[in-house]
Structure 1
Amino acid sequence: MSGRLLRLACAAAVTAGIVLAPVPAAAVPEPGSGADRSVAGLLTDLQRLYREAEKATETYNGTEERLRAQRAVVRRLDAELARTRLSLRDSRGAAGRLARQQYRNSSDLSPYLRLLLARDPQRALDQGHVLGQLARDRAETVGRLAGNERKADELAGRARKALEEQAALAKRQAEERDGVRERLRAVEELLASLTPGELAALAEFERSGIAEAQERFMASGALGDDDKPSAAGERAVRFAVEQLGKPYEWGAEGPASYDCSGLTSVAWERAGTPVPRTSQEQWARLERVPLDELRPGDLVVYFPEATHVAIYLGDGMVVQAPRPGAEVKVSPIAANPVLGAVRPDPGGEPLRRYTPPRLPEGAADGSDEGYADAYAPAAPETSIR
């Protein structure tokens, strides 16, 4: 839906850009409207909408992850309840057999009188031991029965509560899915309203802004010399590079398409180190590393709310799933405002030898699309922490 329209818009921008590249970036007139629309303003609006869409996507992803975990809880409780009910049935059967046996062996005489009147006192004593053991067995069976009944009641209550929580998460997930779609429709509407000249100027303005942001970022000294990756980091990078050219799709975890955190989480899962599903959780739960200690495979997190993430490739470049309508690509690290970096395997020893993966032709082609004002001069400085 959104990807098709966005790709058409990008194609129009490329076609129009051949003719309209010299258009000034200050303002582009809309034919027939009698009004000017600022390219900077258009880019800001577009980035804001993209950022809202990605924020909604990561919220949806987080709920999806919780729903997946809750379904596992429901399955586990259901299985445990089934086992407990089976044990309860067996305990009730054993209690019934003991009750029938007690009824058949009942007598009004006390064990003391039975011993005095017995022709064979030793046999009577032996029978007493047997009866005592049967009494203890009855007590244990009754205790088991009562315990199983309590456990079954408790598990039934927990299973009902878990199922209610699952239903609430499923409802929330549906609402969040509708929210993502609504924000993507807003992106489509804005793109559909632009003329070919505006699209071309917008693309050029974005490219020049990212180039300037990257130059400032690299000149700031934020990055040091790249360390060599760990063995797992190398596997994660190579997996990410193998995904180049696959389309972005919100909520996707491969193998045909990915969103930003879907790519990073699957890459590290394939490397043997599972990480949280969303960019916010990756930022919150993984160990943070200074930018000047980055090594390939580390995750670079963007925006104050940690709503975007990419895999560090080396030499100031990342592999990312940028946005709806785009494809997995290689981008400058400063294509979006950097929040910081995290390392999924902080204990992983760097490789002694490392050869970066060979990138296919066109790996860096296409829009790097920022989701907010990535071109503010202060952006690189505020992110170095």
Structure 2
Amino acid sequence: MSGKVLRLVCAAAVAQAALAPVPAAAAPRPPAAPAAAPQPPEPAQRSVSDLLTDLQRLYRQAEQATEAYNATAEQLRKQQSEVARLDTALSRARLALHDSRGAAGRLARQQYQGSTAISPYVRLLLARDPQHALDQGHVIGQLARERAETVGRLVGSEKRANDLAGEARKALDGQLALAARQKKAHDDVRARLDDVERLLASLSAEQLAAIAAFEKSGIAEAQRKFLASGALSGERPPTEEGDRAVRYAVQQLGKPYQWGTAGPASYDCSGLTSQAWGHAGTLIPRTSQEQWARLTRVPLNELRPGDLVVYFPEATHVALYLGDGMVVQAPRPGAKIKVSPVAANPVLGAVRPDPRGEPLRLYAPPKLPKGALDGPDEGYYAAPAPETSAR
């Protein structure tokens, strides 16, 4: 076979092999699809206990964010007062500086007009009446001291005005930073409540009812154990201020919880307690965490009406002790101010706003209105945000 024919035969064989179908075993395999991530079970498939745990976690996060918002708002209010105080002081200092400069100007003109080349010592030697010259020297010394004081006041006024201007600028910068932090805290609360709303929207009426019933039974059991532990022992009368705080809180029963507010139409938890004691005549911190940190702590077995019961390890919830194992509280979004068992939430401890107060000899607890104990101790419908986001 000639080389040319051989080349033609080989080319035909190669072409035939290229056109032949590839056996199944040799066909390339497509890449394997990644395994789907496990999806959380739908709310309808989850247990009531799990749903309640999630709701409690979300509400607790929202309350933590609310107390952070309240703390920032309180700091901002104080900072605004400080800025206003410094502005007033700076205005007065500038007026004083203007007066000092005017006095210094008059002094300079008087000194220029009364200038002479003869020294006071030479004038004394040449004077016909040395005693008169000495008297004049005394007057001149007095004038010199007054001039020195005028110059000193000018220097002091300038320094005071400069120092106050620096403090005012620093205070204003602090106010702007706090306003930005308050806006961030406001957005954080709103985001937490959005999480609550999304979970609630996914639940049926039957699930909500089951969760409420499950939680109610849990609170009853927690209260039974709390009382059985001996944490509360006997009843003690309040002080006069404590009585006024209790009666104020009882008058707010039925008003809605609204985060970031302190009355008179709505309250959050620490807004209620701070306003109750403010009405009684004792100013206490605005937030539950500051109330826990700064007020006098008392053992639970020494509780008396008007004391504040603080909840959760972070001190993010607070209620006012009513007596007989019950508290008045603003529970959380969706609920109204009501009377609840003291163990409705995990108790951290108690504080007393008036530790030096004398207990009343005779005490009649306030009469509770009808429905004071009705409704959930924890709400299940998120309330809207306050109108103002920054102050």
TM-score by length of 1: 0.86
Match of residue 247, structure 1, among 256, 259, 284: 256
Q: Distance in 2 between matches of 1:35 and 1:146?
A: 78
Letter in 2 for 1:215: R
The alignment yields a C-alpha RMSD, in angstroms, of 1.5
Match of residue 290, structure 2, among 281, 288, 291: 281
Tell me how far 1:121 sits from its aligned partner.
3.3
Please state if 1:345 is matched with 2:377: no
Match of residue 172, structure 1, among 162, 165, 181: 181
Paired residue total: 340
Q: Name the residue aligned to 2:61.
A: 52
Tell me how far 1:35 sits from its aligned partner.
5.5
CA deviation map 1:154-209 (0-9, x unaligned): 11111111110111011000000000011111111111110111111111111111
Letter in 1 for 2:367: R
Match of residue 232, structure 1, among 241, 244, 250: 241
CA deviation map 1:317-369 (0-9, x unaligned): 00000001111000000110000000000111110000000000000111112
Tell me how far 1:370 sits from its aligned partner.
8.5
TM-score by length of 2: 0.85
Q: Name the residue aligned to 1:156.
A: 165
SS in 1 for 2:176: helix
Please state if 1:69 is matched with 2:63: no
Percent identical pairs in the alignment equals 72
Q: Distance in 2 between matches of 1:116 and 1:344?
A: 79
Q: Name the residue aligned to 1:17.
A: none
Q: Is the 8 A contact 2:273 2:319 kept in 1?
A: yes
Q: Distance in 1 between matches of 2:352 and 2:43?
A: 52
Instruction: Provide structure 1 residue ranges, at least 5 long, that are not aligned to the other structure.
Output: 1-29, 372-385
Q: Distance in 1 between matches of 2:174 and 2:225?
A: 48
Q: Is the 8 A contact 1:237 1:296 kept in 2?
A: yes
Which structure has the larger Rg?
Answer: 2
Tell me how far 1:125 sits from its aligned partner.
2.6
Q: Distance in 2 between matches of 1:107 and 1:121?
A: 19
- Give the direction of change, closer, same or farther, for the CA distance of 1:86–1:266 in structure 2 (3 Å limit): same
SS in 2 for 1:309: strand
Letter in 2 for 1:67: L
Q: Is the 8 A contact 2:261 2:267 kept in 1?
A: yes
Q: Name the residue aligned to 2:127.
A: 118
Q: Is the 8 A contact 2:307 2:352 kept in 1?
A: yes
Q: Name the residue aligned to 2:115.
A: 106
Please state if 1:368 is matched with 2:365: no
Map 1:1-385 → 2, pairs under 5 A:
36-369=45-378
SS in 1 for 2:343: helix
Letter in 2 for 1:241: V
Say which structure, 1 or 2, has more relative contact order (CA 8 Å, 6+ apart).
1
Instruction: Provide structure 2 residue ranges, at least 5 long, that are not aligned to the other structure.
Output: 1-40, 381-391
Deviates most, 345-354 or 109-118 = 109-118
- Give the direction of change, closer, same or farther, for the CA distance of 1:339–1:183 in structure 2 (3 Å limit): same
Tell me how far 1:34 sits from its aligned partner.
10
Q: Is the 8 A contact 1:59 1:176 kept in 2?
A: yes
Q: Is the 8 A contact 1:317 1:330 kept in 2?
A: yes
Q: Distance in 2 between matches of 1:181 and 1:307?
A: 17
Q: Is the 8 A contact 2:83 2:172 kept in 1?
A: yes
Q: Distance in 1 between matches of 2:86 and 2:118?
A: 49
Q: Distance in 1 between matches of 2:321 and 2:334?
A: 22
Q: Is the 8 A contact 2:44 2:203 kept in 1?
A: no
Q: Is the 8 A contact 2:288 2:316 kept in 1?
A: yes
Q: Is the 8 A contact 2:70 2:286 kept in 1?
A: yes
Deviates most, 243-252 or 193-202 = 193-202
